[in-house]
Structure 1
Amino acid sequence: MLRFVILLLALSAPVVTSLIGRTQSSGARGVLMCNDRPAGRVVVKLYDDDRGIDADDLMGSTKTDLQGRFEVSGHTSEFTPIDPKLNIYHDCNDGVKPCQRKVTIKIPDRYISSGKTAQKIYEAGTIQLAGKFPGETRDCLH
């Protein structure tokens, strides 16, 4: 019985948080390049990093345009301040390796807004994807 109650609580936590947590938002924009050429159609996702407590909350998703430009924003509800991050999934200088390279960029707290609309957008600038990034991983399922 105790296991059932624990499982029920774990499964209902996201629902409860969305009902009584406070709505927070964030956003980012920038340009992605690969070997000094625009990186078009690259997937960029905005998450609230839940740091291993539960699955990260997807707040927004987009693909770069043919000039490598992106803008993504979104919101989620949490009891505590959100920890927004950008995940960029790309194949720049990747050869024929399986899956995609994943680069994560943490968004500073000053770009967190109350409510569903981001009031300040993080300017990620121009990012050259050709090099290696600290903490870079591979992702097959994003």
Structure 2
Amino acid sequence: MLTRSAILLLLALLGVSYAAVQTVSVVGRLTCNGRPYSGAKLKLYDDNTILPDTKLAQVNSDANGMFQLTGTSSNLVFSADPKFNIYHRCGMTVPVCQYKSSYKIPKQYVNSGSQSNNQFNAQTIELTLLKKDRDCIN
């Protein structure tokens, strides 16, 4: 009896997860010492607690420092927990590896379905002011 109940619960969860498509989008502009910063690598992730994070999108900032990331996730049970990472060399005296900064995206910007109707605007991010770590493998 317990096995049958477990199978039914699993099937119910799979049915819910199949329909649980969520989309998140973030836009912004990067500057280094007040000037547009082009070529920074940006990655959008679904920040998972137990499993490795799921990469949803990746772009480089353009000549004006602008970026836009949009990604879609299908979680089993939980809603998406989005974040984006910025990898750059702004202010680096010896360009070994890159700096990495992470930003959580508030849950209110996670959209149900495959369209992003509520985009997170990260505004202008001055890279010299960020809390950052070094990252040699990204």
Structure showing greater radius of gyration is 2
Pairwise mapping of residues 63-142 of structure 1 onto structure 2 (< 5 A)? 63-78=60-75, 79-133=77-131, 136-142=132-138
* SS of equivalent residue, structure 1 residue 20: helix
d(CA) in 1 for partners of 2:99 and 2:122? 18
The two structures, once aligned, show a CA RMSD in angstroms of: 1.7
Letter in 2 for 1:138: R
Aligned partner of 2:52 among 55, 79, 89: 55
For structure 2, the 5+ residue unaligned runs are 1-13
Q: Counterpart in 1 of 2:3?
A: none
Normalised by the length of structure 1, the TM-score is 0.81
Normalised by the length of structure 2, the TM-score is 0.83
* SS of equivalent residue, structure 1 residue 124: strand
Summarize the Cα distance change of 1:28–1:132 in structure 2 as closer, same or farther, 3 Å threshold. closer
Runs of 4+ in 1 over 6 A off after TM superposition: none
Q: Using the TM superposition, give the Cα deviation of residue 137 of structure 1 relative to its aligned residue in structure 2, in angstroms.
A: 1.7
> How many equivalent pairs are there?
123
Q: Using the TM superposition, give the Cα deviation of residue 92 of structure 1 relative to its aligned residue in structure 2, in angstroms.
A: 0.5
Q: Percent identity?
A: 36
Letter in 1 for 2:136: C
For structure 1, the 5+ residue unaligned runs are 1-15
Letter in 2 for 1:71: Q
Q: Using the TM superposition, give the Cα deviation of residue 97 of structure 1 relative to its aligned residue in structure 2, in angstroms.
A: 4.8
